[in-house]
Structure 1
Amino acid sequence: VPGLQLKINEAEAKLVLLGEADSLDEKERVLSALSSVKDKILDLATIKEERNLVKIDMQIFEISRDDIKKLGLNYTDSTVLTDNADKALNKITDMFATSKWSRAQLNVTINHLISVGKIRVLSRPKLVCLSGKEAEFVVGGQFPITKTTTTTTSTTSEVEFKDYGINLKIKPIVKDEEDILLAVSNEIIEIDSSVSVSGSTPAFSTRNTKTELYLKSGNSLVISGLIKNQETDTVEKFPGMADIPILGILFRSKNFQQKQTELVILITPEIVSGSSSLEGKDIFPEAGQRKYENKAERALREFRGKEEKGYSSGLDSYIDDIKSQIVSSIGYPSLARELGVSGTVKVRLRILSDGWLKEALVVSSSGSELLDNSTLRSIKKLAPFSSFPGSLERNEIAVDIPIVYN
């Protein structure tokens, strides 16, 4: 089949299917023809239809109003973040601003603000969608409304549920290897406790905003001003709102109630799929600058544990790369921060030469199962890591990493 090829991996006694099929049906026909040896097949082939997948990383956090400008967001101007910016874009709306920062720069800034208590992370959802398709993220709940119908003979009541909260719709369109046209619309439905029917049924207010803009893959859009501080008055009248995911934590925040903090959503789209979009890109931008020709070849090289040009050599460099990945990826669990839990957890990782995580365990507890378990889960999600460089002639290594939650 054009575009597909089989290679023999003698070390693992596997047949490796590589290349790019024109369609899923074409790939399945090849796999069907190899069904007699299916247990020996390592399928690394991609499909052209899967090209231009976009990963959308979102961070939802509560930030001190005095520190919002450290992210480049200015309430009065709503202009482009200026760090490394070659030119400013036109104003969009009071809710939107864009970031020219790299992910590493943003992580450093956000992690610093988290460490000094200026940011409280409420959620870190991740979405993946095809270019041109719409992804939707909803934060909120449903409010019960009783409807009473009276006739000449009887009176009946039924309960309907009205949605409220934030409905965020994101539609990324990949224009080339680096540029993404991002269409973002959001609807904010709030309970208006100042207006009610029959004294118990509240009214609802709705706000809608939308924008379209170009972003480089990996750059960020910042959205703020979604939730009014007056919403806390509604929580006092309808306590159930304080229990909804994400927003409930915000509504219970004394700083938010006193208008000292703001809800901010950071959206970072990144092109992650397709050989044409991956060619020449840094797959591990924060750990070793290792480059591959395409997704299939990258996976095969990691599987065999071969060294690539440009990858840091030596044990110390490799361990530093692993630590960098972990530290930049771990966030303070929102529940632990809310409860005031802090501590230092030391974890020991045993990593095999092909990058697979053989073992992860806590060797020194923080004193909190919440922090210990959250740390292990976050690290396991990162595995497998990159394979050992050629100069590191070992079957496995052990790495101790302390993580401080303060």
Structure 2
Amino acid sequence: MSQFKSHAKEGYMLKSLNTICFYVLTILLLLFPAIAMAQQKINLTVGQIHVLPSENIARVAVGDGNVLNAVTDDDKEVVLFARAAGDTSLQLWDVDGNSKNYHITVGSAVQNRLQHEIRNMLNRIQNVKATVLGEKVIVEGERLSDADRERVQLLAKHYPQIIDMTSQIGWDQMVLLDVQILEIPRSFLQELGVSWQSNTVGGFNAGVVWDSVGRNLLTRPGEQALDAVLAQSHPLGYFGVNALLSSSLKAMTNEGKAVMLAQPQLMARSGATAEFLAGGEVPYAIADGNGNTQTVFKPYGVSLQITPRIEKNGIVRSSINVEVSSIDGSMALQGGPALKIRRTNTEFNVRSGETLVLSGFISRDQMQNMDKVPGMGDVPILSALFRSKKFQNQETELAIFVRPVVVSSDNEDMQRRIMRSQAIVDSSFEQQPLINVAIRQEVGSKAAQMPVSTQAKVQNGRVDVAKTFAAHHFYSRELPAFTVPKKSKLILRPLNSKKLKKGKVS
């Protein structure tokens, strides 16, 4: 009986295995035509002719006859005619029943030409990869400079087919903007070689020094100058080597011929805007649609907005917006005082370290308004300029010198400035104890190590630190703790002097 049950069980398992094999074979047979009919992609342009070589063709089927027309030639090849833009399918059968399936994409001739032009323009930009995806052009790239990113964005603005997926350099270059606002004699700029326009609109003066032989900026200002053929309402300025200019300004300041009104130093990354304002804010009362009154403030004084951009060749292309405003006492308004504004906006290209000069922002009527309007004597820069007797006699004028310098983190001058600033901070402010103090590297010899706490050595009622501690160069705040007997004196020996500094210890 048990043997009969064993044979029945084996028969059941064999039947189940046969059933599984049957289903697997059926699935493979069903998938085989799909695999055999895997679509091949063909891209065409409207009006283009494409030939598909194929033998023993029995039948041809086109999904959309408005997009594609297919004609057989002696059953050996199929000629395709692209009629209109769109997508369709093409299927071929031979005499044995085998079939081939194609996916045909017909694009517009104009669209393909635009994609070709876009790819040619993008190939000129380094680190940029262009991929055509349907009707779109995907632009990818890393570590692009500001100039290259600006070119890609300009192309994306004119060609909607572009999808910008680029990224810029992680660490942008920095530009140090050294600005000097001075009261200088009118003859000073002519002596440097700047030829100012005689007739100007709005009180602005502009000049430029140019080398007529080499067609470059003069390497030594003061040798020759040409009249600047510029629009009167758009002043440029002086370009030249800054060393000679700085020495001349410093000499004139020491002699009292020039007055330094302000000298801000601004730092901005390439493409960002640095702003400077010396003045104040005037309150205004405004009313909304419901009649509610609120107070807003509008700045006035001397305002600078500079946006530098670093090009590939090291040229600094900057946009500068200078505005000089003062309170106009001739107009009395209920909402608040009126402002008289003189503004200029220009772009200039200079090399790192060269200087631009803007002048002629103050006019005679502004000087007279100072005596009429209360509070104008407190405006920075303008108050000092108006109080000058030479300026009132029109012997001097306000000039703004802008000198952009490209700097980096490893710049020696910047490192010296940081060290000097840190030394000033350390000497002026007492450093607070930190919770997490970094562990310092041990000194090589044990004799040079300082004990945490020790008993001071007293000789004749005096404590000698040099004999108490081993030789070590340390700051005063790093002096270890030690005990001093009462009524004893503490002697500290400086590292660079043999003299003793004595002081009583409480």
- Larger-gyration structure (1/2): 2
Which is bigger in relative contact order (C-alpha 8 A, separation at least 6)? 1
Q: TM-score, with normalisation over the residues of structure 1?
A: 0.49
Q: TM-score, with normalisation over the residues of structure 2?
A: 0.40
